[in-house]
Amino acid sequence: MLLETRAGERLEVEAEEISWESANEEVGYASGFTVYAFAQGDTELTASVGELSVTLSLSVRYRDHLEWTPVSGEAFLAGESAVLEVNVMSEDGLSLQQLSPSQVVWEFSDEDAAKVEGGRLHFLHPANLSVKGFWQGISGQATYPVELKWKTFDCGDGSCCGIATNDNTYCWGVNSGLTLGQHTHSFYPVHMPTPSPLVSLSLGLAEACGLDAQGKAWCWGKNNRATVGDGTRTPRATATAVDTPLSFKRISASGTGVSCALSKQDKLYCWGAFPVSIWRNLVANQLGDATVYESPVLMSDEEIDAFTLGALLCARRKSDHIWMCQGENEHGQLGDGTEEPTMTFFDVPGSINFSQLLSGAFHTCALDLVGQVWCWGTNVDEGLGIPVMQGPNGPTNLYIYTPTRTAWPNNFQTLYGERSRAWCGVSEAGLECWGANATCLLDRDPSLSYSYQPLLITDDAYLMFEMGGWTWMSRTTLRAFGRENLRVKFGAKKSSGVFRLRKPPPYKKAPPSLSPICN
């Protein structure tokens, strides 16, 4: 062994030439070139060689537990990962040794929510995640809230689905027709595996559909009216490929027994039970009630640049921008002045002036080029934006079968609806809604049954807005109004689209009480 003096002189020393003294031999001492540790504590070791000496500090600690970064409590988004740095720690917080993450045995409270790979901790799905690590009889534990941030979402009559920034699909609400897959009703997002990541979604009554990045169509759900489009009427609890080689750029699943998609060649294809909106026979197994297409069929030789699917199927011809509709028409929503069904497209009068048209259950509404709203159909709950007046022979304005401008001057940029006989639109004032308040979609006390006047819901800015049958949602504050069993149990970071789970997401059935709550 070589020793170097302060003067720079180098001396070669043998082990037996060194004498050691320990301030506390119960903690540890040294002999030769070896240090011996006996008990937890601190002491000083003094080494002497002739007239030369040096004092060393010796700290003895037991290996007590593991700690690592990221530290416990740090929040992550599903899809993110973090570098793992693992240390063996003493009871009083000294780092004794650094380990490779591969040396540690890892356990997760939810095995699907995270994994350790390549020296990183990967957060896969939302959870209040507990992580435990084990090494040579010692262990450590950390908890991470793993959150979702949404790219897009859509709501149907009883449930909602969204695509998160980790490219996974999640659904929540009432599991009507298997829209939540194998799960029961859920207050919290549950993962819906898809063969390839989806980029868009549409939810109907008992089915859900989506498109992947290549435009391939996938659907799942009850499928009793062939709305999955896989060539069968077999219930599908997992995303199933629609029976076509076509690629699409938009897809829509409705609550009326039909699904449609617009191909990349601007051709409209649909599948399910026709005419659209077979209200009188929910099963649609009787040949006299419907024509059922189990795979996509071409709806028109015309090129289409927009379409809407509700109680009617309406499409806008690319050549002249005129809207044409077809369907059962039992509420006069077609605009032809009758309640007669049609399986051929009818050109809606004046629709060349409509920038947007939406088909609902009882009404059809459109937005013209200057932002005025036009509606037609049966004026149930004053959803046409026109007050029902009492005449000498009873109520008037109950039936308006041709496009008619609403009774207010409000200008809108976008329309939403109709769900549960309510409509919404974005105006300069903010988000305004009118029609029925039966499921609190007007965000008013249930004593208000309906309103033909648009009511201001919020002046908040938002990234995205969707209406469901019992709820509406916006992607900044994720406000959700509707029946209690569809309340979305999140807190949210305003303007971020990040929704934080309040507790671990067990799969829960809806509570027995479905009374509307509008706060």
pLDDT of residue 136: 96
Tens digit of each residue's pLDDT (9 = 90 or more) over 342-366: 889 999 999 999 999 999 888 999 9
pLDDT of residue 278: 60
The residue-averaged pLDDT of 230-246 equals 96
Residue 367 confidence class, pLDDT cut points 50, 70, 90:
very high
> Please, are residues 37 and 25 in contact by the beta-carbon 8 Å criterion?
no
Asked whether the CA dihedral 507, 511, 512, 517 is positive or negative, the reply is negative
pLDDT of residue 1: 61
In angstroms, the CA 167 to CA 65 distance is 36
Cα end-to-end distance, the chain, whole Å = 80
Cα 57 to the chain's mean position, in Å?
57
With 60 as the cut, is the pLDDT of residue 99 above it? yes
With 50 as the cut, is the pLDDT of residue 492 above it? no
Of 289 and 440, more confident? 440
The residue-averaged pLDDT of 287-294 equals 76
pLDDT of residue 2: 64
In angstroms, the CA 165 to CA 503 distance is 21
Side-chain half-sphere exposure of 260, counting CA atoms within 13 A:
25
Query: What is the amino acid identity at position 5?
Result: T
With 50 as the cut, is the pLDDT of residue 285 above it? no
Q: Tell which phi-psi region holds residue 496, choosing left (phi > 0), alpha (psi between -120 and 50) or beta.
A: alpha
In angstroms, the CA 415 to CA 155 distance is 15
In angstroms, the CA 352 to CA 346 distance is 13
Tokens of 496: 């971020």
SS3 content of the chain, % helix, strand, coil (to 5): 5, 50, 45
Q: Is the bond into 340 cis (omega within 30 degrees of 0)? A: no
pLDDT of residue 484: 27
Of the ranges 33-37, 299-303, 431-435, the best mean pLDDT one: 299-303
The residue-averaged pLDDT of 44-50 equals 90
Residue 499 confidence class, pLDDT cut points 50, 70, 90:
very low
In angstroms, the CA 249 to CA 307 distance is 12
Question: Rounded mean pLDDT of the chain?
Answer: 85
Residue of 21, 55, 62 lying closest to 41 (CA atoms): 62
Other beta carbons within 10 Å of 56: 12
The residue-averaged pLDDT of 245-264 equals 94
Q: Is 432 helix (H, G, I), strand (E, B) or coil?
A: strand
In terms of Cβ atoms closer than 10 Å to its own Cβ (0-12, 13-18, 19+), residue 433 is: buried
pLDDT of residue 518: 53
pTM of the predicted model as reported, rounded to 2 decimal places? 0.79
pLDDT of residue 218: 98
Q: For residue 317, give every residue at least 6 positions away whose Cβ sits within 8 Å of its Cβ, in sequence order, or none.
A: 302, 303, 304, 305, 323, 324
Least confident of 159-173, 226-240, 487-501: 487-501
pLDDT of residue 474: 55
Residue 509 confidence class, pLDDT cut points 50, 70, 90:
very low
Tens digit of each residue's pLDDT (9 = 90 or more) over 11-45: 787 888 889 999 999 989 999 889 998 888 899 99
Percent of the chain with pLDDT over 90: 56
The residue-averaged pLDDT of 441-458 equals 86
With 80 as the cut, is the pLDDT of residue 157 above it? no
pLDDT of residue 495: 33
